[in-house]
Structures are given as C-alpha cells and as structure tokens.
Amino acid sequence: MKELEIDIETKSDRDIKKCGVYAYADSPHFAVTLFSVSVDGGAVQLYDLTAGDVIPDEILNALVDESIIKHAFNVQFERVCLSKYLQVHYPEIFSGYSINEDTVHDYLNPRSWQCTMIHARYLGLPSSLAQVGEVLKLQQQKMSEGKALIKFFCVPYDYENGVPLFHNPADYPEKWELFKKYNVRDVEAELEIDNRLSKYPVHDRIWEEFYLDQEINDRGIAVDMEFVEAALILDGQAKAKLSADMRRLTGIENPNSVYQLLDWLKKQGYASDTLDKAKVKEMLKTVKDPVKSVLEIRQQLSKSSVKKYTAMQKAVCFDHRARGMFSFYGANRTGRFSGKIIQLQNLPQNHIPDLTEARNTVKYGYYDEVEMFYDDVPDTLSQLIRTAFVPRKGYKFVVADFSAIEARVIAWLAKEQWRMDVFRDGGDIYCASASHMFGVHVEKHGVNAHLRQKGKVAELACGYGGSVGAMKAMGGSEMGLSDVELKQIVDDWRAASPHIVDLWWSVDRAVKKAVKEKTTTATHGIRFIYEKGFLFIELPSSRRLAYVKPKIGENKFGGESVYYRGIGANKKWDWLESYGPKFVENIVQAIARDLLFYAMQTLSHCFIVAHVHDEIIIEADKRLSVAAVCEQMARTPAWAKGLLLNADGYECEYYKKD
C-alpha cells in the first residue's frame, strides 16, 4: 500500500461555510457517516458507518502512517475530520504531530497528505471538484444531486431542547443509496483528475509550502472572546439606538430598507438610485440636516466590518483559537493566499490614538461610556476588530512586514537603477518618484512636500500600465486634478521609469511569441513556455504560473491580446484577456509571494499564527526580538541576487496596524 484516495461524508450542527472545518469538526454533534477509499488506484470501497460498517485496520493504520500518501480534493477537510474521528473512536492509534517543543497538534500530520484541489489550482484550474470535472471533461463527473443530499442528511432539519435532529438514513433508504453512490463517485472523479494532472506534477517545494500553510492553519490564532462578546453587545445596542434615531428623523418603518430610504430622500429633494458607500460619501459633501444626519446614521448602520465579531464567534474552537483562516494558492494566477471565514486580509485599519484604553472601555465599560468617549460606536468597534486577536498568556505578538515589496521587485526585474538606489539608501520611493517626475527635490515633510502625494498615487496606479482610470481609483480624483492633468502625471511617471515600461512590452512580446509559435521564450530572467495547451511562466524561483489554453485574439482596440481560460469576475470558467503589463503584475505579485514563503520558511522555527498580505504575525515568548525577525525577512534567496529587501516590525499585546 502506497497511496489512498479518500472522500468522506459527515454531519454537524455547525455551518461549515461560516465557521470552517476546524470548528465544524469541533462540535460534539460532529460525526463521519460515509467513508470511501481507493487503495493504490484500485476499485473504490465504501464503508457506511451509520450501518455499523467498520473501516479495516490496514486503512486506519494507513491514515496515521506518514509513509503512505493520502489524496483528497480539499484535503484539509478529510484530514481535520478524520483527525477528530480517530481521536474519538481509535485513540490508541491516533497521535498528533509536534510543531515545537511545547506544542503538539491534535491533527494528523499534513506531510503525508496531498491535495488534488491544490494541484488543480497550481495548473490554473478551478477550485471546485464539479468545475474541474467539467473543464477536464471527465467520464466520472461529480453527481449533481449531491448538494441536495448533503443538505438533507448532513444538516439538522430541526432542534429539540437544543439538540440537533438529523434525518436517519434508515428512514430514507433510496436517498441514502444515492448518497452512497455520490460518495463513491467523488473518489472516482478524484482518481481521474489525479491521473490527468499527473503529467504536470506539483513540485516538492510547493508541497513543502503547503505543509507549512497547513501547520499555520492547524495552530490558529487566539481570540479574546470576552472582548468579542462585549463588542457584539455594544454593536446591538448601537444598532438599536441608531435605528430609533432613523425612525424619528424619517418616519420610515424599516431603517435598513434601501427602498424606503431612497423614497424618503426623493421627497426631501435628493433623488438617487443607489445608497452605496461612494454615493453616500458624495452626497454628504452638500446635503444639510435632517438629510445629513440621516445619511450619517446610514453610514453607521451599514458598517459591515463589525460582522467580523460574529464571524469570530462562529469560527473559534473549544480553546478560543480561530483556525483555517488561510487558503493556499487561493489566487491561482499568482499562487498567493486568499482568506477565509474571518478574512484577516481585509480587516479595517485602526486610527484611535490610545487603542488599549478604547479596547478596555469596550471590554469592561457601558454603552453610554463608549458613546461619550468615542461618539461613533460602530466605527470604534470596527477600528478595534484587529485587537480581538491576542497571543497566549505570557506571550507577545511580533509583527513584521516587507517594505514596498512590489516596488522593489519590479525595480529589480526591470533594472530601474535609480529606484534600486533609493531602496539601497533607505529613501522614500514616493518622494523619489515625484522628484524624477517633476524634476525637483521632494522631501516628505520638507521642500515640495505637496508633490509626494502625486508621487504616491502615481506609484500605486502606474506600475502595471495603469492610466487615468487607475489614477482615479487610487485616489487621484481626490486631488482635484482634471483628466488632462492626471494623464500628464501618468506620462511623467512612465518617462521617469523607462526600464519598467520596457519590461511591460518585452514581456508582452515574449508571451505572444511563445503562444503563436508554441515555443519557449525569455526576457528579464523570466521564461515563457508553451506546452501541451498551457502557457507556463517560469519565475526566478523556478516556480511556474499556469495559463490554460492560451491563444491570440483581437482586443477592443483592434490590437492583439492573449486570451486564456480561467475563473473570471463572475466566478465562472471563461475566456480572460491579458497583455504585457497585466502579465508583469502577475509576475511581480508571484515573486513577492515567493519571497514571503521564503521568509516564512526561514522563520518556521517560530510560532507563526497568521500572515496578512506581506506581513507575518508570530506568537512569541519574550526572547524573540523584532530586530531578529526583520533581519531574517530581509535575507534574499539565492535566486534573487541583487534584490534589496527590507522589513519593518513591532511587538504588541494584541494585533493592530502600527
């Protein structure tokens, strides 16, 4: 026995979409109901655990044998659920794995598990088993009835005295037989996918990264639930008070109804067809009371970020740690992570001067006290969301992130020497960019300081071919400049960075040549390889980005663009367009991702509990210094010779944005 292909069905009273697999399996009402397995690619065997079937000893032992590779689609689900199953039913053979000297995890070691979903993502394919089956035109497609059967058998249909009630398979034999076929079919589909994708294996280095990702997900990050519960109570009180104020000012019945409020605004002489954030912000510049007060209340009531407290409440396990927050290769165009459940990647920033005092006022104070000191209660709660994440007692957080990582990478790739010099000398890239654009010396808080903001907006907007639209999106419209003036800034930026502009179009030519001639090309240390219906972009790290079925087509301007198959904004498999600057964006962000992983692996002896964009969060004892972590992060891998890295950091007793 060398390999297993596994698919299981389970039940729990917790909503896995809202709480994640760790909290889902942590429920006392969790159970594994069906277990289907193929040994070394053989016929699928199903074990109905609800009917008294027993999984054979050789299979059970294989689950804990780290020399036997276990495959599944979204393997984290099977690994975590089977960890819980073995702990409860076979504690004599289960053993967690050690992360460091004082921590043993209650989960099966991820190092003997390989994920078919990650393999699909690695090749630019979708993240769902059904979509991958459709794209690959499998003979064994995922059964469409599965979704309804999962809802019927795996989700409670009611509760009695707080106890969830599930449909008994014995009462619905026909449906249960179909569900068993569905379970077997999934394994058959996964086997076929593994076979198809085996022509393009995932590099061992990527699996090593995946194992580190799984370890971080297994650790989780501690949540101060006392603070969270207090914040939720205050949020409820704030919403009730604001809703009452809205009713008093407008007379409308439902303060949350967009249609009722739009109708009221129309009667006040302010007709609008939307109440999105941008529109409300625009209207507040000119309206007067009572409309101004009503719109301000609207802003407070629609503060969706405070819902993250509810997400925390649902996601924590018995030890008050939230797990499974990070999705490996979630952005398969670059290989970067995506966030799940609480979504640490889009937490609100904090600008309150004394966070500790504000945090304690929320945690131990009363609503009137919070309102008196901070006025806007929802906004205060929003700013304090980060602070709900805390280290273990006696530990601290060490937080460090790369400084201007994408700007450094693109300067290094393009060999834009003046930019490299700025980073080498510890300068401010926004000031330096403005100086080159406008031909005058710019200092952050000194001479020509007003030009720094233009340099910043240009840096954020122009690096990947952006023009006036990108300038506006990055804040250019708030500078009071006309489209002509914004276009001039774009032209000035490009004139100041000719090597970056050359990088865009060199990549554009190399990609198109590779696709047209089905060959291999190279530029700026990047290889572009056409191979059996794929375009692979090989990065300096040797990792490859994959684009499915690339072809040359005509764009809306009548010129040539590269088109490939991928998941678009509509979350459907579709034709997507790209060209030089967009490919450069993918390449730069992918290299930044590789640098983050290199740093994480360098620091893997530390207790990394989270990472947000280019930032690493470590739960550390008092001995670990910020300087040591930043020094490690600034180390450059051998494949990035000449790239200048820098990291800034701080330590804290709760997570925050320094």
Q: Give SS3 for 445.
A: coil
Instruction: Provide the strand spans (E) within 110-253.
Output: 113-115, 158-160, 163-165, 221-222
What CA–CA distance (Å, rounded) separates 314 from 16? 10
610's CB contacts (< 8 A; 6+ apart) are 216, 221, 325, 326, 344, 389, 616, 617, 655
pLDDT digits (tens, 9 = 90+) for 72-126: 999 999 999 999 999 999 999 998 887 765 667 899 999 999 999 999 999 999 9
Query: Which phi and psi angles does 643 have, rounded to 5°?
Result: -75, 130
Query: Which phi and psi angles does 526 have, rounded to 5°?
Result: -115, 135
What CA–CA distance (Å, rounded) separates 321 from 223? 6
What CA–CA distance (Å, rounded) separates 332 from 344? 19
431's CB contacts (< 8 A; 6+ apart) are 442, 443, 444, 452, 455
What CA–CA distance (Å, rounded) separates 439 from 459? 16
Rounded to the nearest integer, the mean pLDDT of the chain is: 92
Q: State the pLDDT at residue 374.
A: 86
Question: Do 39 and 65 form a contact (C-beta atoms < 8 A)?
Answer: no
Question: Do 537 and 527 form a contact (C-beta atoms < 8 A)?
Answer: yes
CA dihedral (371, 373, 375, 376) in degrees, to 10, reads -80
Q: State the pLDDT at residue 96.
A: 84
Q: State the pLDDT at residue 101.
A: 57
When pLDDT is cut at 50, 70 and 90, the band that residue 310 belongs to is very high
- Tokens 């990472």 sit at which residue? 611
Q: Give SS3 for 636.
A: coil
Structural domains in the chain, sorted by start: 3-202 (3.30.420.10), 225-346 (no CATH), 417-496 (no CATH)
Inter-CA distances, 254 with 62, 193, 236, 242, Å: 58, 51, 16, 12
What CA–CA distance (Å, rounded) separates 231 from 380? 10
Please report which residue ranges of 391-475 form alpha helices under DSSP H. Answer: 405-414, 417-424, 429-438, 452-462, 468-473
Q: Give SS3 for 650.
A: strand
Number of Cβ within 10 Å of residue 638's Cβ equals: 8
Instruction: Using DSSP bridges, classify how beta strands 45-48 and 69-72 pair: parallel, antiparallel or unpaired.
Output: unpaired
CB pairs under 8 A, 24+ apart, for 260-264? 261/294, 261/298, 264/294
Query: How many Cα atoms are found within 13 Å in the side-chain-facing hemisphere of 422?
Result: 21
**Which residue type is seen at 551?**
K
pLDDT digits (tens, 9 = 90+) for 376-429: 889 999 999 999 999 999 999 999 999 999 999 999 999 999 999 999 999 999
Two structure tokens written together for 239: 């919403």
pLDDT digits (tens, 9 = 90+) for 356-381: 999 999 999 888 898 888 888 899 99
Two structure tokens written together for 224: 């101060």
Give the mean model confidence (pLDDT) for residues 323-335. Answer: 94
Q: State the pLDDT at residue 219.
A: 94
User: Rounded to a whole number, what is the distance in angstroms from the first to the last CA of the chain?
Assistant: 52
Sheet holding 396-402, edge to edge: 608-612, 615-620, 396-402, 647-652
What CA–CA distance (Å, rounded) separates 418 from 407? 12
Burial tier of 99 (Cβ tally within 10 Å: 0-12, 13-18, 19+): middle
Reported residue count of the chain is 658
What CA–CA distance (Å, rounded) separates 297 from 291? 10
Question: Do 507 and 584 form a contact (C-beta atoms < 8 A)?
Answer: yes
Query: pTM (2 decimals)?
Result: 0.92
Angle between the 498-517 and 405-414 helix axes, to the nearest 10 degrees?
Answer: 70
Question: Do 607 and 618 form a contact (C-beta atoms < 8 A)?
Answer: yes
599's CB contacts (< 8 A; 6+ apart) are 402, 616, 632, 633, 635, 647
* CA-wise closest residue to 85 among 13, 31, 164: 31
Query: How many Cα atoms are found within 13 Å in the side-chain-facing hemisphere of 193?
Result: 32
Q: State the pLDDT at residue 102.
A: 62
What CA–CA distance (Å, rounded) separates 625 from 636? 20
pLDDT value at 312 more than 60: yes
Q: What angle do CA 435, 436, 439 make, to 5 degrees?
A: 70
From 57-61, 450-454, 601-605, the region with the lowest mean pLDDT: 450-454
Q: State the pLDDT at residue 306.
A: 84
**Which residue type is seen at 418?**
W
pLDDT value at 513 more than 90: yes
Q: State the pLDDT at residue 367.
A: 86
When pLDDT is cut at 50, 70 and 90, the band that residue 511 belongs to is very high
Question: Do 331 and 590 form a contact (C-beta atoms < 8 A)?
Answer: no
Q: Give SS3 for 123.
A: coil
Query: Percent of the chain scored above 70 by pLDDT?
Result: 99
Q: State the pLDDT at residue 100.
A: 65
pLDDT digits (tens, 9 = 90+) for 554-593: 998 899 999 999 998 888 899 999 999 999 999 999 999 9
Residue 331: which region, alpha, beta or left (left: phi > 0; alpha: psi -120 to 50)?
beta
Q: Which residue has the higher pLDDT, 314 or 445?
A: 314
Give the mean model confidence (pLDDT) for residues 528-557. Answer: 95
Q: Which residue has the higher pLDDT, 547 or 284?
A: 547
Two structure tokens written together for 340: 């799940």
From 155-169, 175-189, 281-295, the region with the lowest mean pLDDT: 281-295
From 59-73, 89-103, 300-314, 447-461, the region with the lowest mean pLDDT: 89-103
